[in-house]
Amino acid sequence: MTQSVKHVLPDLPYGHDALEPYIDERTMEIHHGKHHQAYVNNLNNAIEGTEMENMTLEEIFRNMSQYPMAVRNNGGGHWNHDLFWKIMGPDGGDKPSGELLSAIEKRFNSFEDFQEAFNRAGATRFGSGWAWLIVDANGELQVTSTPNQDNPLMDVAEKQGTPILGVDVWEHAYYLKYQNRRPEYLSNFWKVVNWKEVERRYAELKK
């Protein structure tokens, strides 16, 4: 029998104040320490004593429609935030380079047009959710968004693929600093994107 592994809250790869002034310290403390921790706890409770204890989240997501809503919401919540912390950083901003930049320019015409499409996906996602840059099954870049804590790895997603960049547009991600100004939060998000990590994920998928 395989040993079941509890999911754990990953450490933030930087300090809570590292993304100031674009994302404020208090928001990061609550978002990581309270919201993400709750997804992890609720996920562990939801999979306890089931076959899902011995599966990776990616394996569960592939057949998400067959598993309970609590696992979809909290497993998605855990995976999505884990990605989110890693694709941001204090040395972020600017643009990607190399193959990822070429692929973005080929697919979206220019880096600025890509940013516009991504911001639009985030701004027009009604209620809570995420905007994504994904690599689809054909290796093509796509911009998409999902509701709640869904993500494009799930079989329930409209557009499927592997996210290499994502932004949380739940109000808890920006309300303390930006109140209802989601577009301003989205435009400042670019100042903290860790493109090195996004490029690494892209290269991994293109192997």
- Exactly one of 100, 168, 192, 197 binds Mn ion (CB under 5 A); that residue is 168
Asked if 170 touches Mn ion (CB under 5 A), the answer is: yes
Of all residues in the shown chain, the one whose CB is closest to Mn ion is: 168
Contacts of 178 (CB under 8 A, 6+ apart): 184, 185
For Mn ion (CB under 5 A), the number of binding residues is 3
> CB under 5 A: which stretch of 1-9, 105-113, 163-171, 199-207 binds Mn ion?
163-171
One-letter identity of residue 19: L
Contacts of 2 (CB under 8 A, 6+ apart): 54
Residue with smaller CB distance to Mn ion, 150 or 168: 168
Residue with smaller CB distance to Mn ion, 12 or 173: 173
CB 197 within 8 A of CB 87: yes
Residue of 13, 6, 8, 35 whose CA lies nearest to 173: 35
Q: To which H or E segment does residue 38 belong?
A: helix 37-47
Q: Considering the complex, what minimum distance in angstroms separates the CB of residue 112 from Mn ion?
A: 27
Q: Considering the complex, what minimum distance in angstroms separates the CB of residue 77 from Mn ion?
A: 7
Asked if 85 touches Mn ion (CB under 5 A), the answer is: no
Distance CA 88, CA 167 (A): 10
Pairing relation of β-strands 162-168 and 141-147?
A: unpaired
Contacts of 18 (CB under 8 A, 6+ apart): 89, 90
Distance CA 76, CA 39 (A): 8
Displacement of CA 182 from its chain's centroid (Å):
16
> CB under 5 A: which stretch of 103-111, 149-157, 168-176, 192-200 binds Mn ion?
168-176
* Residue 42 CB-half CA count within 13 A: 17
Asked if 79 touches Mn ion (CB under 5 A), the answer is: no
Q: Considering the complex, what minimum distance in angstroms separates the CB of residue 83 from Mn ion?
A: 11
Residue with smaller CB distance to Mn ion, 168 or 197: 168
Residue with smaller CB distance to Mn ion, 12 or 55: 12
Asked if 39 touches Mn ion (CB under 5 A), the answer is: no
> CB under 5 A: which stretch of 59-67, 117-125, 164-172, 181-189 binds Mn ion?
164-172
Q: Which residues bind Mn ion (CB under 5 A)?
A: 168, 170, 173
